[in-house]
Amino acid sequence: MDLVEGVRQGNRLALARMLTQVENDTPLGREGLNRLFPFTGKAHLIGITGSPGTGKSSLACRLAKAFRALPEQPKVAIIAIDPTSPFSGGALLGDRVRMRDLSGDGGVFIRSMASRGALGGLARTTSSVAQVLDSAGYGLIFIETVGAGQSEVDIARLAHTVLVVEAPGLGDDIQAIKAGILEIADILVVNKADLAGADQTMRVLRSMIDLGYPSRLLRGCNPRAEDAHGVMVEEALPPWEPPVLQTVSASGQGVDEVVHAIQQHRDYLLQSNQWRQRDADRLQNGLDVLLQATLVARLRASLPTQAYEQILNQMSDRQLSPFEAVAHLMELSSVVQKK
């Protein structure tokens, strides 16, 4: 069976096997991605991030179910990433435990991924895995990050819409104004809202949003503006202001509001042309990463045997600084054009 044909025809076994090839970055996976790439760019990629134990998996399950219940019944995929042990290289991927309600629905595809040493909450090949699912016709792709915490911002580069999930009692108002994870939120969700302290968490997050969007207090007073020639023009779309919503994943309370917010954000991205912009940013980021990896690999391959190790040893002996080491390696390489 040709895997690419299978993926395009909706064969789930072919899709699963192609995802493995892509995840392992095999030649077959790369060739498959080359052929599938023209069919990508249609899916809405939705990131779900937040601290461990805030209920990301349960919320992803609820959201997937809610989207499947819509009249258009979009095909939904979930990529759930859990950490790889830095000691053994193994991983325990447990997100499916929270997603059992999705079982038996042929329009849902769940794939667990181990982070395999990458930091930032995603695995190195998560973007490629999402592309394969996109080309297979999954219109909504939820990407659930590892959930390590404050610096997990890679998802902002990958997803169109980022949900940051919080739970009551995890931090005070200083946590909320720190740079990092909250800054990347397009939608803020306070999950486990039936627990004590939920209202306090909502208040803190709302006041953080107020700090970040002072201009919203003026909005509505001047919906139309004059240009330099005094002609009335439509004001540009105001910036998206992240809504702060409450959910209880266990019961499903508040999930419809999150679905609605995701749809509104999608409309906003399309109207403001940011959909295209985010796509271009993502492609550029992917290109840069690939380019760097390829150049480093070619450079390493072009060096005389042992040169890299010898220079590393000289650095350990403090005979070469890192800058000098790089200059030496450039000098020794046959692929770098000499000045």
Partner 1 sequence: MQQSIRVLIAKPGLDGHDRGAKVVARALRDAGMEVIYTGLRQTPEMIAEAALQEDVDVVGLSILSGAHLVLVPRVMELLRANGQDNMHVIVGGIIPDEDVAVLKEAGVAEVYGPGSSTEKMVTDIRAAILGEPVA
Return the residue of 38, 90, 223, 230 that touches partner 1, per CB under 8 A: 90
Residue 12 C-beta: closest distance to partner 1, Å: 6
**Structural contact between residues 308 and 300, judged by C-beta atoms closer than 8 angstroms:** yes
* CA 98 – CA 78 distance, rounded (Å): 12
Return the residue of 9, 34, 73, 85 that touches partner 1, per CB under 8 A: 85
User: Residue 103 interacts with partner 1 (CB under 8 A)?
Assistant: yes
Return the residue of 4, 7, 17, 167 that touches partner 1, per CB under 8 A: 17
Pairing assessment for the beta strands 224-226 and 232-234 based on DSSP bridges:
antiparallel
User: Residue 25 interacts with partner 1 (CB under 8 A)?
Assistant: yes
Residue 275 C-beta: closest distance to partner 1, Å: 28
- Using CB under 8 A, which residues numbered 266 to 325 contact partner 1? none
User: Residue 12 interacts with partner 1 (CB under 8 A)?
Assistant: yes
| Residue whose tokens read 């790089």 | 326
User: Residue 13 interacts with partner 1 (CB under 8 A)?
Assistant: yes
User: Residue 16 interacts with partner 1 (CB under 8 A)?
Assistant: yes
| Residue whose tokens read 């169109």 | 160
Return the residue of 44, 56, 62, 111 that touches partner 1, per CB under 8 A: 111
* CA 58 – CA 81 distance, rounded (Å): 14
User: Residue 330 interacts with partner 1 (CB under 8 A)?
Assistant: no
Strands across the sheet with 140-144, in order? Answer: 108-114, 76-82, 140-144, 44-50, 161-166, 187-190, 244-246
User: Residue 86 interacts with partner 1 (CB under 8 A)?
Assistant: no
Task: Choose the stretch contacting partner 1; rule: CB under 8 A; options: 20-28, 51-59, 185-193, 326-334.
Answer: 20-28
* CA 139 – CA 46 distance, rounded (Å): 11
Task: Choose the stretch contacting partner 1; rule: CB under 8 A; options: 32-40, 65-73, 83-91, 289-297.
Answer: 83-91
**Structural contact between residues 247 and 59, judged by C-beta atoms closer than 8 angstroms:** yes
Burial 44-74 (b: 16+ CB within 10 A, else e): bbbbbbbbeebbbbbbbbbbbbbbbeeeeee
Residue 146 C-beta: closest distance to partner 1, Å: 14
Binding site for partner 1 (CB under 8 A): 12-13, 16-17, 19-20, 24-26, 84-85, 88-94, 96-97, 100, 103-104, 109-112, 114, 116
